[in-house]
Structure formats: structure tokens, C-alpha cells
Structure 1
């Protein structure tokens, strides 16, 4: 008698062998000889072909069929479709580092993990994922892993302040504690404060920001 694991492999092989079955989007589970097919296909004919292919495998005692027919015009909101669209967006993006982020989608909820060198990359990944249709929410668990020295982080932020035409670098103080940056001092508008925050977040290795800048 076949084990469930072997039966699952045999059914998957039969689905791949049958040319009328869109096997790439069909999942197979086996328990006590009962096969469960899930996923989606683009036609009713392909759905029937998948059922028939599974039934003709030796050792299949029963079949539970949960395949959905998704037409080309339908919104692509199944979990595998959402994951693929997010992965494609990351691949096309010049901002997201290749191969650094893991994508998991469960019932429309996206979990992102992995590590990047900059906070803006982490934020960009979360923003991109949240814009995909069918996404119900995003858990952004991506870590900023690059860890330059405290002096290097502070200097890079201060250099960015000095380059800004809209900011008086002499009125802002920068302190660092590991991956945390603390800003203090005085500016003349919320616009200047946002510029300072953006410059601080852009430094490599910054995971946390405490902004104590006062607007006068």
C-alpha cells in the first residue's frame, strides 16, 4: 500500500503528464488515500481533466476537489497570484535589493521578511506590497541589517544636512545609539523637520528614529 507521501507525488506527476491540465496552479494533498486538489485553473475543462487525472492514479481511494475556475478577466486575488505579483514588482524595482526579501501570503495577508541595507528599502517593499489588489494587510518584518559605526552614521546624516539647501545644519544635533538615531534642535517649519527626518532615515543601518526637533 502506498504512503500518503508517495500517493501525493504520483498524483502530482500524473497532473504534470496530462497536457490538458494546468498543473502549475494546482495543489495536491493526500491523507489516508484521499486526495485533495486545490488552486485554480482558467477553464472548466481543465478542472475536469485534473479530477480525472487524479482518479486514475493507483491507490487513490477518494477525491476532494476544491479547484476554482478563474477566467483571464477575473481579478488575480488568490494567494499564489498575489505573491507572484509582489515578487514581480520587487524584481522590476530599482529600489528593492534582489533576493533579499521573502514573501508569504495567507488569506490575502502578506508577510515580508529578510534584510536590507536601508530603511527606505524596507519601507518601499511594504508600500509596494500594500498596493497589490487582493492584499488585506501587510506585516513588514524586514530588518535593516547593515551596521556601520556610530561615528559613520552620524557623519553621513550631518553631511546630508549640510548638502540641503532648505536646512540649517547648525541648528540640529544628531546622536546615535546602535541602530537608533536621535534628532534634537530647532527648525522654522514642519517642512524642515521632515527633511531632517528623511535624511536620517536614509543613512545605512538606521532602524529607529527619535525626533525631538522643535519648530520655532
Structure 2
């Protein structure tokens, strides 16, 4: 299969299935994969919130994927029903303490096996890291992050600096990504070849010290 031609939905489906099997720590046996016009739908059951996220990221890495639709459900591990909210909350607090966020900047509200993250951190990668580490706490079924970024000053050259960063990045074709900035809000548009490239462009934008919100409107067109 060559990257110079369009892949069929069947080829994309097979590659996604192989990528799911290739992903360490992910039990892909219970995950179904269907593809229509490059849009991948994942269905079935996984053992935890982290497996759900790992499966979504694995599918997004595959060539020919234009979007990933999450129809997965999480089954709590055996015996997790015996874990109280207080015990699960204590495990979540300990997990948050292990990541490099400012002390007491993130806290969690636990309802059943569902976790809501709140607070403020300086950088987007810190709130993403907090969400991912909590997803891996045994017994957690879902994680919703409402962690905000600490307010930051805007800059007149924000869009230009992000464009330069995109051009420097080997994993993104920066010539096909357009950046618009108003205050601390950034909008990304354009076309890229893969979902992974789309995600990387957003990561680059979040790295700006003058950005509080990124709206990613980039279209994937393999």
C-alpha cells in the first residue's frame, strides 16, 4: 500500500485493527472497528478509561483516517464496585500529586467511578497529563477535565510565531495550516494528511505562552 494513493475503507480498517493490536497494554479483543469514507468508528468494551483513550489515539495514528468516532464503553474491573468513592478519590489525589502540576492547582470530584477534574494550571500539557494519569487509576470509568489555563497576556505576533513553529515542525506541513489569533484565542484551519498531523498542529499552538484557547478546524484529507 502506497501513501501516494487513496486507501480503501477496508485497508484503513485492517490497519486500525493492527495498530490496536500493536498498542502496548491495550486489550483489543473486545474492540470493533468500522470505517466509512475514512471515518473510523470504535465500538465494544474496554477495561478502563485509559484503554478507551489509548484506543482512540491508536486509531488516529493510522494513515487514511479522517476522524475517529468513540462508541466504546468502559466496564469497571472485577471487584471495583467494592471500592468506595472515598478510596477512589484518595487514589486519584495521589495520582495527581505525582504529576508536575503546581501544588494544589488541580483537584478532583468523584461520583461513583466518574472523575471531574477542576483547577488551573499554566500550560495545556499539564492539564492533559493530569487527565491521563487519572485515567490510569484502577476503577476509574471516565474522566472529564474542566481544568482551566491561568490567564495570560496576549501578544500582537502570536499568530506569526505559531506559523513559524509549524513550519519548523517536521511532523506538520505548516504551509497548509492557517493560523488566526484574536487576543489569547487561536483558530487553526487548512488541510493536512493525517489525524496525527492535525493533533500535532494543535499541540504546537498550545505551546504559545500567549494562548488560552485553541479551536482546531483543520480538515484531514489523506
Aligned-residue CA RMSD in angstroms? 2.8
Specify every segment of 5 or more residues in structure 2 that has no aligned partner in the other structure, as ranges: 1-78
SS in 2 for 1:151: coil
SS in 2 for 1:115: strand
Which residue is equivalent to 2:199?
Answer: 194
2:188–2:214 CA contact under 8 A, matched in 1: no
SS in 1 for 2:108: strand
SS in 1 for 2:152: coil
Deviations 1:97-122 (A, max 9, x none): 32211222233332211111222222
Pair 1:164 & 2:164 matched: no
SS in 1 for 2:165: helix
> How do residues 1-216 of structure 1 correspond to structure 2 at under 5 angstroms?
77-94=83-100, 96-204=101-209, 205-213=211-219, 215=221
Paired with 1:104 and 1:167, the residues of 2 have a C-alpha distance of 37
Larger Rg belongs to: 1
SS in 2 for 1:203: coil
Paired with 1:97 and 1:138, the residues of 2 have a C-alpha distance of 20
Paired with 2:161 and 2:87, the residues of 1 have a C-alpha distance of 41
Paired with 2:89 and 2:96, the residues of 1 have a C-alpha distance of 11
SS in 1 for 2:217: strand
Paired with 2:145 and 2:171, the residues of 1 have a C-alpha distance of 32
Paired with 2:89 and 2:203, the residues of 1 have a C-alpha distance of 29
TM-score (norm 1): 0.54
Shift of 1:175: 0.5
1:90–1:98 CA contact under 8 A, matched in 2: no
2:205–2:214 CA contact under 8 A, matched in 1: no
Which residue is equivalent to 1:17?
Answer: none
Paired with 1:189 and 1:140, the residues of 2 have a C-alpha distance of 26
SS in 1 for 2:104: coil
Deviations 1:150-195 (A, max 9, x none): 4353244223213212334333221123443211234344443332
2:195–2:220 CA contact under 8 A, matched in 1: no
Paired with 1:119 and 1:77, the residues of 2 have a C-alpha distance of 31
Higher relative contact order (CA 8 A, sep 6+): 2
SS in 2 for 1:174: strand
TM-score (norm 2): 0.53
Paired with 1:184 and 1:109, the residues of 2 have a C-alpha distance of 34
Paired with 2:196 and 2:109, the residues of 1 have a C-alpha distance of 37
